[in-house]
Structure 1
Amino acid sequence: MDHPTPWLDDDQQALWQDLLTVIIALPAALDRQLQRDAGISNFEYGVLARLSMADEVTMRLSDLARDCDSTLPRLSKLMDRFEARDWVVRRPDPANGRYTLATLTDAGRQKLVESAPEHVAQVKRLVFDPLSAAQRRQLGAAVSRVAATVRRELEGA
């Protein structure tokens, strides 16, 4: 039996279109800024940042790929480029040799430090400055709920 499609109402459609703009256009705007000012992509910046926040600036590549929403082959190619620039060092995980660890080097940390000021300013300009403190809190609560739902969906896949 055919069931009619439960279309989004006007308010939902407007919100969905705005959310799509943020999902699609915000990373592109951040990428342009980072390419222009630092010569790296938003993805590359994200990988450097994740490593910099890890204990001992070291992570398993599989965990780093998951946290950066990447595949292992894509991340491995990036690690090749990062190693050539002396931004990371890879080595087998001594706790389990089936895994590879990536460690951020001093040169990698320096690249992140040099790239951060303009990037942080762009994030503030595009995301935080247009909002009041109350709106930031509301957005944070809403995005956290949506993110939790998406994570549960992905874990169940």
Structure 2
Amino acid sequence: MSYQVPRMNELESRAWLSLVWTAELLPAALDAQLQAESGMTHFEFIVLSTLRQADDGALQTKDLAAAVNSTMPRLSRVVGKLATRGLVERIGGQDDARVINVHLTGAGRRALVRAVPGHIALVKRLVIDRLDAQQLEVLAGALEPLVGRLDPHNRVGFAAVQHMAE
């Protein structure tokens, strides 16, 4: 017998609990793979990937924080660690010393390039290869409106980076 969330029918419960447990379990699996193979966390990978997509590989910290859905203190700690490892640089703003730009270094770009194949292989093994093309279409069609509802101003992800460039 499956668990049913109170005040939801069986289908609603299945869908909701599947989404919740995917959201809980997938990041831990991605993090473990990236740590083991590339020495970086999934969040560090997201930061580096976001910078890679930005014009000139750089973003202001406030824009980077929004794009990766992070608080400023968390982002500051992670950027500090990445800077210590030579993967990013923090550069003061030309007109305002309070503005800090985070720039992806050549070493950061190379670390990201080395990390991508293993990361993509795991994503394919855990998610993509488990679903056929129709199921992937349904998944994308179901989740895209949720992302749009949760982020109506396109603050996160690569859409945010593209939006900032306009």
TM-score normalised by structure 1 residue count: 0.88
Kindly state the Cα deviation for residue 126 of structure 1 after the two structures are TM-superposed.
1.2
**How many angstroms apart in 2 are the aligned matches of 1:50 and 1:152?**
19
For 2:79, the equivalent position in structure 1 comes to 79
Q: What root-mean-square deviation, in Å, do the aligned CA atoms of Structure 1 and Structure 2 show? A: 1.8
Aligned-pair identity (%)? 36
Letter in 2 for 1:14: R
**How many angstroms apart in 2 are the aligned matches of 1:147 and 1:135?**
18
Please list, as runs of the form range in 1=range in 2, the aligned pairs for 1:15-30 lying within 5 A after superposition.
Answer: 15-30=15-30
TM-score normalised by structure 2 residue count: 0.84
C-alpha offsets along residues 27-69 of structure 1, whole Å, 9 cap, x if unaligned?
0010111111111111111111111111110011111111111
Letter in 2 for 1:126: L
For 1:91, the equivalent position in structure 2 comes to 91
Letter in 2 for 1:65: A
Q: Secondary structure at the match of 2:7?
A: coil
**How many angstroms apart in 1 are the aligned matches of 2:135 and 2:117?**
24
For 2:12, the equivalent position in structure 1 comes to 12
User: Mean Cα displacement is larger for which, 13-22 or 87-96?
Assistant: 87-96
For 1:51, the equivalent position in structure 2 comes to 51
**How many angstroms apart in 2 are the aligned matches of 1:121 and 1:94?**
41
Task: Work out whether 1:102 is the aligned partner of 2:105.
Answer: no
For 2:114, the equivalent position in structure 1 comes to 114
For 2:39, the equivalent position in structure 1 comes to 39
C-alpha offsets along residues 3-45 of structure 1, whole Å, 9 cap, x if unaligned?
xxx8111110011111011100000010111111111111111
**How many angstroms apart in 1 are the aligned matches of 2:56 and 2:95?**
15
Kindly state the Cα deviation for residue 93 of structure 1 after the two structures are TM-superposed.
2.6
Kindly state the Cα deviation for residue 83 of structure 1 after the two structures are TM-superposed.
1.2
> How many residue pairs are counted as aligned between the two chains?
149
C-alpha offsets along residues 97-126 of structure 1, whole Å, 9 cap, x if unaligned?
432110000000011111111111001111
For 2:164, the equivalent position in structure 1 comes to none
Segments of structure 1 that go 5 or more residues without pairing to the other structure are 1-5
**How many angstroms apart in 2 are the aligned matches of 1:60 and 1:151?**
20
C-alpha offsets along residues 49-94 of structure 1, whole Å, 9 cap, x if unaligned?
1111111100111111111111111111111111111111111233
The runs of at least 4 consecutive aligned structure 1 residues that moved more than 3 Å come to: 95-98
